[in-house]
Structure 1
């Protein structure tokens, strides 16, 4: 490809030679040139493409013509956006096509969730790292796994990380009943925080197409996706824990935890495998996971007759960093168990069987 550039007071004028026989002059913004080139390069590498030509600019992208080697020509309507959220894609998909041709999305960064929505709805996408997907007119383009150097501008970490106590309380209130529709004011009053904090969390969920806003208020629409993304962010920072070993088997250890409460008043809350099987007995396990108040752990270790170890633990004690971890805890067959939501978050950190358990609890207790 040959590119000649002349600098004007309004931007760059790119003279792009799309084929050996034709030149087209297109006025583009500097930020858009890279996106246009990403699409052009992908199509011109295909052996059955004879010509690729940008016809004209639009308010939100451009329209291009693609000629195949058998003479067939089809149009591409490209949306070129510097920042894109899943909700943005949903809005684009809802627009009428008006028979203009195949639609594609171009952006510096396209998340996995955005890509999934595009593919499910037949909209192609191209990012600046070379990841792309396009299906149509006997063409199949798919490339993934290229690392994108563009930073993800609205990271989920700030909403989902362990230290975000207020955000955590808002999310937990939403998951107490995922069918409930909330007004921002009512949710802020229920949690005891500002409307601005609630608006921030709900706005993030809506932008990522995990929640919807209606005339009645806000509601979670994709609880499973929220929990999985929350679990990923949750696991980026290792939780403080005390791995311990006991000569007792699992059932004896769990009985001793009940006796610990009776004899000393020290409360413990089952999570992970031992908590999850109380909701969905789908896995076998050989390790107890439990929450305790930090100030109670030393006395509990002495009472239980366990020893802290570096490997081979059959009990893991997590100090309660804040009370949100035990919000909506339950008593099941005499044992204190954290909520299904907390079980899912903790079990997702236990790869393999833990992920299987989290999925089962999610389906049985949260997505009914």
Structure 2
């Protein structure tokens, strides 16, 4: 992506007369800000240094977070300008940036730069990177298998055939998803192989989509549980006996990976919620709260990547992060801890 941005910047500044330009990729950190590209401009005796940070998306949430982070950094010296660059910056995102006097350049042809000796504004250019409708939802059930597989192996190079076989989907679907990932600058293709270039951005996008979905949890109060770990083993024992497929998620599952998490409920996916299972547990349904949450899931993707810890099946780290994020509150805090310690992107 940085190579594409550099090419765009070269063409962009070449159109401005009497302007000297020097570009350097991935310069050192400056004043607490680490740009992806540094552009030095000169016209006569005037100078400016553009500290350009490249984002795969300029959604409003991302733009707000970015300007908030800038506000917490030491003020840049004169003639040094943080600039946001993305494939497309919408009118609303542009308004946010301009209201903070922060410049931007997008790869679709829009820009706003106010450097004192140089002012450039271009607007109204459509999003050249808009994903076609049939490719828009990267996180639909079958498409998300591909995203999940790549996020679980973020540094791996794939052929489309390898990715299709590992994800359990058709090569045609992999091709469409791969194209969408490339267009949104989450991934790139080189020498016939395909790899993620922004796993963190892709996970952020999936989280934003996922938290808006409504996982239907059935809540119960389980008076017999002694402690969370013992309760999980008891549920697993009954599930095996009744041939119910299960997998734990949420804070209870995360506590097996990250010690010292506060756990107030057990969350468990099952492929069938048999009355005999609830009778065996002596669990009573409650309209809210509860310390035992079940969700009946028959989609295979939820179970993909699940593994055993202490003889208990738990969801993959990616799925656990999504579920914790969707729970909100302390779940979000646990999600961030899991991401920092386990996912590390």
Aligned equivalent of 1:291, options 260, 264, 269: 269
Aligned equivalent of 2:228, options 250, 262, 268: 250
SS in 2 for 1:132: helix
How far apart are residue 169 of structure 1 and its match?
1.4
SS in 1 for 2:326: coil
Aligned equivalent of 1:128, options 69, 86, 91: 91
SS in 1 for 2:137: helix
TM-score (norm 1): 0.61
Q: Does 1:351 align with 2:337?
A: no
Q: Flag the 1:273–1:117 CA change in 2: closer, same or farther, 3 A.
A: closer
**Conserved? CA contact 1:282–1:360, under 8 Å:** no
**Conserved? CA contact 1:157–1:233, under 8 Å:** no
SS in 2 for 1:278: coil
SS in 1 for 2:147: helix
Cα shift readout 1:255-308 (whole Å, capped 9, x = no counterpart): 3113214543434211011112222225211111111112x4433211111011
Q: Flag the 1:157–1:303 CA change in 2: closer, same or farther, 3 A.
A: farther
| Count of residues in correspondence between the two structures | 266
Q: Does 1:205 align with 2:168?
A: no
SS in 1 for 2:13: coil
**Conserved? CA contact 1:224–1:362, under 8 Å:** no
Q: Does 1:111 align with 2:59?
A: yes
Cα shift readout 1:297-331 (whole Å, capped 9, x = no counterpart): 43321111101111121111011231110111111
> Going by fraction, where is strand more abundant, 1 or 2?
1
Gaps of 5+ in 1: 1-84, 142-149
SS in 2 for 1:226: helix
How far apart are residue 168 of structure 1 and its match?
1.6
**Conserved? CA contact 1:87–1:207, under 8 Å:** no
Q: Flag the 1:182–1:366 CA change in 2: closer, same or farther, 3 A.
A: same
The two structures, once aligned, show a CA RMSD in angstroms of 3.7
Map 1:166-245; keep pairs closer than 5 Å.
166-245=142-221
Q: Flag the 1:229–1:126 CA change in 2: closer, same or farther, 3 A.
A: closer
Gaps of 5+ in 2: 20-40, 42-49, 71-80, 104-113, 120-126
Partners in 2 of 1:219 and 1:285 — Cα distance? 36
How far apart are residue 342 of structure 1 and its match?
0.8
Aligned equivalent of 1:158, options 113, 130, 137: 137
Aligned to 2:123: none
Q: Does 1:137 align with 2:115?
A: yes
**Conserved? CA contact 2:138–2:147, under 8 Å:** no
SS in 1 for 2:219: strand
Cα shift readout 1:347-367 (whole Å, capped 9, x = no counterpart): 110112212222222233333
Q: Flag the 1:90–1:209 CA change in 2: closer, same or farther, 3 A.
A: farther
Partners in 2 of 1:335 and 1:167 — Cα distance? 28
TM-score (norm 2): 0.65
Partners in 1 of 2:332 and 2:3 — Cα distance? 27
Partners in 1 of 2:189 and 2:66 — Cα distance? 18
Q: Flag the 1:285–1:363 CA change in 2: closer, same or farther, 3 A.
A: same
Query: Which structure: larger Rg?
Result: 1
